Amino acid sequence: MGENPSYFSECGSDCPVEQVSWHDVQDFITALNDLEDTDRYALPTEAQWEYAARAGSTTAFANGEITETGRGYDPVLDSMGWYTYNSHADHSDHWNGKGTHPVGQKDANAWGLFDMHGNVWEWIADWYGAYPTTAVTDPTGPASGTGTYRVLRGGSWSISARYCRSAHRHGRPGFRYDYGFRLVLLPGH
């Protein structure tokens, strides 16, 4: 897109992009699809994101249960994700600062996906709204949401372990902040 909007530019070229709005992501998806003359790239729905994050697990993190709900050390999350405990200079030997970290430095989940827990919040295609009251399979999310709020998943380097759980969802307006994204390749493309 011609520039890297990330605040943590010292982190390096292997770091996730952050400081992108939901609308910035839509512009990127349009440009990428136009570049390849396709329509195969998109943001995941909440259901798709959580399915990928869990990688067949039913626990708080893809690799086990949560042990710490505050800002302290969680050995299960620590092996898979960047969160407040391991993302500050006094707890990390990485780029000697707090913030995002290069991708792929922690363990992948069972399906080989890295950084599903922590590092940067990831924008989701869905509006932030109430879940259905009945059981559903592969829901697409509400057609509209609470105000202008969109869903974010995955947690961040700056927050405690409980917000990095597979099931945690966060709703925010589509503005720029400590937010990044992960794309899906749509089936049949």
Beta-strand ranges (E) seen in 104-181 are: 121-127, 149-153, 169-173, 179-180
% of the chain residues with pLDDT over 90: 65
Tens of pLDDT, residue by residue over 9-37, are 888 889 999 999 999 999 999 999 999 99
| Cα(127)–Cα(137) distance, integer angstroms | 18
Residue 11: predicted pLDDT: 82
**Number of domains composing the chain:** 1
In a domain, 11, yes or no: no
In a domain, 183, yes or no: yes
Answer whether 89's CB lies under 8 Å from 97's CB.
yes
In a domain, 8, yes or no: no
Residue 63: predicted pLDDT: 97
Check residues 93 and 8 and name the one with the higher pLDDT: 8
Instruction: Judge whether residue 91 has pLDDT over 50.
Output: no
In a domain, 2, yes or no: no
- Specify the CATH number for the domain of residue 63: 3.90.1580.10
Residue 36: DSSP 8-state: T
pLDDT, average across residues 120-129: 93
Tokens 């329509």 — which residue?
A: 39
Instruction: Judge whether residue 96 has pLDDT over 70.
Output: no
* Domain ranges, residue 88: 17-189
Instruction: Judge whether residue 92 has pLDDT over 50.
Output: no
Instruction: Judge whether residue 172 has pLDDT over 70.
Output: yes
Residue 175: predicted pLDDT: 81
In a domain, 99, yes or no: yes
Answer whether 172's CB lies under 8 Å from 150's CB.
yes
| Cα(51)–Cα(46) distance, integer angstroms | 8
